[in-house]
Structure 1
Amino acid sequence: MQKLAVVLFYVIITGCPHGFEAISPNCTTPGRLHKEFEEMCQRPCLRIAAPLTPYVQQLQDELKWRKMYPGFEKYEHRLFYVEQAELVSWAEAIAVRHKKGAQLAEFEDDEEFQAVLKKSTPRGTYWVGITEGKDGGFTSEDTKQPARFLNWVYGQPIKLKDPARVATRSGKGIFTHPCQLINNYICRVELPLKNK
């Protein structure tokens, strides 16, 4: 409650509530918040409120990505979306993620993989952003570089007739999967966000 009171005090002093430009046209330039605050605030209030500027900036950043990417959850420096209802083929998953302004998920390590898959359902199968390359190796669908983290379930990868796509189930690992089958999917967005 104290943090909220201090943030409200900060907002009142600066006239820039969480970066809403319609209310405060002076706060349209990124990075101006702190400068405007220093110009408007007397020395005593500056000592009290200045340490809050990083916290307020963090809140502004979070509001920005929550507005741009509804339904996404933050983990470290990335946003993830675990689709629970819609079942799509691999090609449809690629089209859907473009609409969301995201990529199919690829994971940095097992910690990130397990944290994101906590949002999955036990019976769900999810497309992820890894595909079999022409050389038989597995690459990131987004960057076309070798996949960063491959945690195959036992007996995988299995060679398929067509180039394999990769899916996961309940955070147990990844496996090759025919691209025409329908599954849920996991999307990701890198932070910091670029302006759309």
Structure 2
Amino acid sequence: ISVVATFPPCIMLFNYITFFSNVGVGRFTQERLKRKSLTIIMKKSDFYVVAVIYAIGFWFLAMTLDLPEEAQTYPLVLICSLLTLNSLYFIQVCLKYRKKRTVRDDLPEIFHGFQVKQFVTVIIGAVIYLALMPVLGFYIDTALYLIGAMLLLNVKRLYIGIALVVMFAMVYGVFTLFLKVPLPVGMIFG
């Protein structure tokens, strides 16, 4: 039960820390200002982003509705937030298209420098993460996965430490203290 509910926040925090540690807030802002004229034109990747987020959101929604009613609150809030933000993004995409009536093919630009080996390693790590959850428990398994994935992505050790502290504090506060939902402890500590 808690694996379904905790996986999306872990992914969001991981993506947030990884993005800002690799790109940097200042550089990101400067690049956006330079490409301000390009942001008006709708991009081909916008279609794919919206479709993938809807698919993930509805998949998690279906899994959440199978949970006992008392365990559905937190996942439903996350999923509804995700789907609402995705819908707002879709509206923004449609408004871009309506304004210029053109779609820019940005897929070659997006996948320039794409590292297949790195991507596959992170995906395999996520599968192993889910498989080891019953054995190692949530906290140990999550710490190992986040440390390994962020080291693979060349994230600075400081950001790795910050991500672990923030994520574990958030999960402990929400699940243990507020919702009183037990997290998997694993066979080692169970």
TM-score, normalised by the number of residues in structure 1: 0.22
TM-score, normalised by the number of residues in structure 2: 0.23
Larger radius of gyration: 1
> Which structure has more RCO (C-alpha within 8 Å, separation ≥ 6)?
2
Task: Identify the structure with the greater helix proportion.
Answer: 2
